[in-house]
Amino acid sequence: MADFPGGPKHITAEWLSQVLGVRVDTVAVAGSHEGTTGRAQLLLTGTGVPESIFVKYPPRDEMQRAFVTSAGMGKREVLFYGQLADEVPVRVPGVFFADSDDAGEHYLMLIEDLATSGCTFNNAATHHGTYEETMLAEFAALHARYWRSERFDTDLAWLEPPRQHPIAVTLVQQALSQHGADLPPVFTELAELYLAHTDAIHALWNRGDHTLVHGDVHDGNLFMDGERPGFLDWALVARAPAMRDVGYFLMANLAPPEIQERLPSLLTHYRQSLLALGVHAPAYEELLEQLRWHALYLWVGTAVTFAMGDAWQAGDYVRATLDRLHQNLAMENVGAAVKAAL
């Protein structure tokens, strides 16, 4: 067992004083929530202490805890905050403490409470006119820093290609059985495609130049610090083709009418940003092809979440996300693009 508290209720002022290096007089749990992982807000008093910090810890539900452990999510995020948070060229939450046991079953992270730092969330719904361009420039900065990095064989060898978790097949099949009759034909098409060619599709998602990717860039994991975008929840950080982030972001955030109107210029903007940072970027046509492949990754993640009901996210929200996503994927002929590449 690692030598740190097991959750927010076990965090004492004395332990926090040692970790923060300043005197903490009191600590109180202001609120907590458990989904994919456990999250809580701590209110602190003392000399020179932040008024609030954010805690991440393993969920108490045994099945959810087993999933997080087997997927390596907690340990991977601890490694990110310990080794990469200070060097990545993008805004991430400040970290006060991050540790896990070897198996990743027990972990604890104390990170910046972004709300008290003045950051805003859910910006895609109310974004200004250049929001997507600003985000893509940040993606380019992150991806360019680690494009085909030799460090993936040395100090960053722990950054693996995204894991192929067997539970995805189970949950996609469950989503198809439960909801296939109520959703448009593209849902059944993509579910059957993924179930019939799971290994080949995961291999396809690794085809191309690798870089460091966030891996889970839905709107809930993005924030704005003034005019600068930021990224939180690094549990799925990996080395993979850049379109794993870019395809996810654009397909998730563009409304269906915008796909045909803006996708070409936005993808060109991302590519030009890479070139300006010294990356020998793939041709536009190659990036577009990869974007379509990785759009299926976004669909699989959404379908898996949908199969879980309200356990990970509100079911109504996930259903609305699927409805819009199906329109976007149909416009880009994602199913046909994946089939042609297998």
C-alpha pair distances (Å), 26 with each of 56, 97, 265: 19, 18, 52
Cβ atoms within 10 A of the Cβ of 186, count?
A: 17
CA–CA distance, 286 with 268 (Å, rounded to integer): 12
Residue 242 pLDDT grade (very low, low, confident, very high; cuts 50, 70, 90): very high
pLDDT on residue 123: 77
pLDDT tens-digit series, residues 57-80: 998 888 888 888 888 999 999 999
Q: Which CATH number fits domain 120-341: 2.40.128.120, 3.90.1200.10, 3.40.1130.10, 3.10.450.50?
A: 3.90.1200.10
pLDDT on residue 61: 81
pLDDT tens-digit series, residues 127-157: 666 899 999 999 999 999 999 999 999 999 9
Residue 331 pLDDT grade (very low, low, confident, very high; cuts 50, 70, 90): very high
Q: Which amino acid is at 92?
A: V
pLDDT on residue 63: 80
Averaged over 89-101, what is the pLDDT? 96
Higher pLDDT residue, 291 or 121?
A: 291
pLDDT on residue 232: 96
CA–CA distance, 234 with 245 (Å, rounded to integer): 12
Q: Which CATH number fits domain 8-112: 2.60.120, 3.30.1490, 3.30.200, 1.10.10?
A: 3.30.200
Of the candidates 338, 308, 39, 332, the one whose C-alpha atom is nearest the C-alpha of residue 178 is 308
Averaged over 11-39, what is the pLDDT? 91
pLDDT on residue 85: 97
In terms of average pLDDT, the best of 174-188, 199-213, 256-270 is 199-213
Q: Does 8-112 match 120-341 in CATH topology?
A: no
pLDDT on residue 212: 99
pLDDT on residue 51: 94
pLDDT on residue 230: 96
Residue 308 pLDDT grade (very low, low, confident, very high; cuts 50, 70, 90): confident
User: Lowest-pLDDT range, 34-43, 151-160, 234-243, 244-253?
Assistant: 34-43
Domain boundaries, the chain: 8-112, 120-341
Mean of all residue pLDDT scores within the chain: 93
Higher pLDDT residue, 166 or 192?
A: 192
pLDDT on residue 142: 99
Residue 2 pLDDT grade (very low, low, confident, very high; cuts 50, 70, 90): low
Q: Which long-range contacts (CB under 8 A, 24 or more apart) does 186-189 make?
A: 186/326, 186/329, 186/330, 186/335, 187/303, 187/322, 187/326, 189/335
The CA dihedral of 195, 199, 200, 206, to the nearest 10 degrees, is: 120
Does the reported pTM lie above 0.75? Answer: yes
Token code pair at residue 2:
């690692």
Residue 209 has pLDDT above 90, yes or no: yes
pLDDT on residue 172: 96
Any bridge partners for residue 69, and if so which? Answer: none
Residue 1 pLDDT grade (very low, low, confident, very high; cuts 50, 70, 90): very low
Rg (CA), the chain: 20
